[in-house]
A and B are shown apart, each in its own frame.
Chain A
């Protein structure tokens, strides 16, 4: 069964550093999403991406965040200057149609 693959599974970084979280969506999918889940809290939407542009973003997705699909297979989330409160599990998801998609297993980001 096709999967959404996320790397790394765990990323540790110092506050103020830039991080790039990587995702390989399912190959024929057209819609891509990033969500995050702070420990013990609910999953929160960050951004959706379609046709090489952001189609929707939440209040969380401020100027320190950016997304990119640099080639035909990868979908990345960049956090320019990490803060302690960015520590969370980040999930990538993809879908073929405009409907909830398949989630990856997540990247646990720890900001020290």
Chain B
């Protein structure tokens, strides 16, 4: 069946480095994608989104890239900080705002 998934379960980076978290999706009809951050004991927190008519979108220290040819989504975090340590999920929007989440990547930032 169609699914949204992640390549790397754990990513460890040094503080100050850039982080790249990847996501592969298989539903070619998907037109809206979101990255969420989830800290321990908390709910998913919206980071950034992108529509399928775009290939790049930038926020504050974060950039999302969408490659529809290979059905690949990535989240880039610039100058990674200890507070960025969390699990990151990509998600695909279904009807009425309901989401299909990927499996998650744990980002560990080493001081």
Residues on A lying within 8 angstroms of B by beta carbon are 4, 31, 33, 35, 41-45, 48, 50, 55-56, 58, 91, 93, 95, 97-106
The verdict on A31 contacting B101 (CB below 8 Å), with A103-B43, A103-B45, A105-B43 known, is: no
The verdict on A100 contacting B89 (CB below 8 Å), with A42-B101, A42-B103, A106-B42 known, is: no
**Residue in B closest to A3 when the chains form the complex, CB atoms:** B43
The verdict on A100 contacting B46 (CB below 8 Å), with A31-B96, A105-B41 known, is: yes
Contact check, B100 vs A91: say whether CB atoms are below 8 A apart: no
Partner of B94 from A35, A45, A103, A105 at Cβ < 8 Å: A45
Q: B29 within 8 Å of A by Cβ? A: no
Contact check, A55 vs B43: say whether CB atoms are below 8 A apart: no
How far is B44's CA from A104's CA once the two chains are assembled, in angstroms? 8
How far is B94's CA from A45's CA once the two chains are assembled, in angstroms? 10
How far is B24's CA from A63's CA once the two chains are assembled, in angstroms? 33
Contact check, A100 vs B95: say whether CB atoms are below 8 A apart: no
**Residue in A closest to B95 when the chains form the complex, CB atoms:** A56
**Residue in B closest to A4 when the chains form the complex, CB atoms:** B43
How far is B101's CA from A91's CA once the two chains are assembled, in angstroms? 13
**Residue in A closest to B102 when the chains form the complex, CB atoms:** A42
Partner of A91 from B32, B44, B49 at Cβ < 8 Å: B44
* Closest CB in chain A relative to B108 CB, distance in Å: 16
How far is B98's CA from A71's CA once the two chains are assembled, in angstroms? 23
Q: B93 within 8 Å of A by Cβ? A: yes
